[in-house]
Structure 1
């Protein structure tokens, strides 16, 4: 699964989910992209599931870029533990996604193939998405 090799601090605050993506909102590497329409936390497992769905449908044709990375730790306290006694241990990692963020890009395939691949990948994600083309 995707996760940072090293971090300066093991635990972090929740932050807020308001606002739109200020950067990463344009298709930069490929020809087609999958854009988020909602704000959400996307886990490392969800990113991997979407990537597998993309690559399986494309059958090794074209190239895939993953534009998001899960660098935000989510903590969890053990089961049946009383309240208090500090913050829990890091459980998994998430990518903080804002509306307008390009999450995946592909190149080297037709628009029809890319759109179907992104449709399959979007079913693995907990947010609404949109198929976008590069502005040339």
Structure 2
């Protein structure tokens, strides 16, 4: 299982920030013919992305093409259990992708519409956001 990680980061720890509004980029199907679009704002971690990718590739039996349009760049820190308040910010534990409403997260090509619909439905169950199946040019 290859967990997605940034190879280098400018800042090891970042603040949470806001994740609201509608996506202005990555909001159309660009590479394949079908896509999986987010209907919520949420942080998706690298394990969830990998689980969704595996669900897609298993269903299409490694046929067709799959594009992952999101990447977990943002580190999430956590302090150990039973540590008192203060003494700084915790260490990075995992990385997340901040996904906004309207972001196309996965795309598929070279498969039939029924195959794509079912594969992306299975992938949507692995993600913490509500999803919608979209076709190229329909958004």
**Normalised TM-score (structure 1):** 0.98
Instruction: Determine if the alignment matches structure 1 residue 129 to structure 2 residue 131.
Output: yes
Structure 1 segments of 4 or more deviating over 3 A? none
Distance 2:11 2:37 in 1: 30
Matching residue of 1:82? 84
Please list, as runs of the form range in 1=range in 2, the aligned pairs for 1:94-109 lying within 5 A after superposition: 94-109=96-111
1:61 Cα shift? 1.1
**Structure 2: segments with no counterpart, 5+ residues:** none
**Normalised TM-score (structure 2):** 0.96
Please list, as runs of the form range in 1=range in 2, the aligned pairs for 1:9-28 lying within 5 A after superposition: 9-28=11-30
Cα RMSD (Å)? 0.8
Q: Is the partner of 1:11 in helix, strand or coil? A: coil
Matching residue of 1:8? 10
* Matched residue count: 136
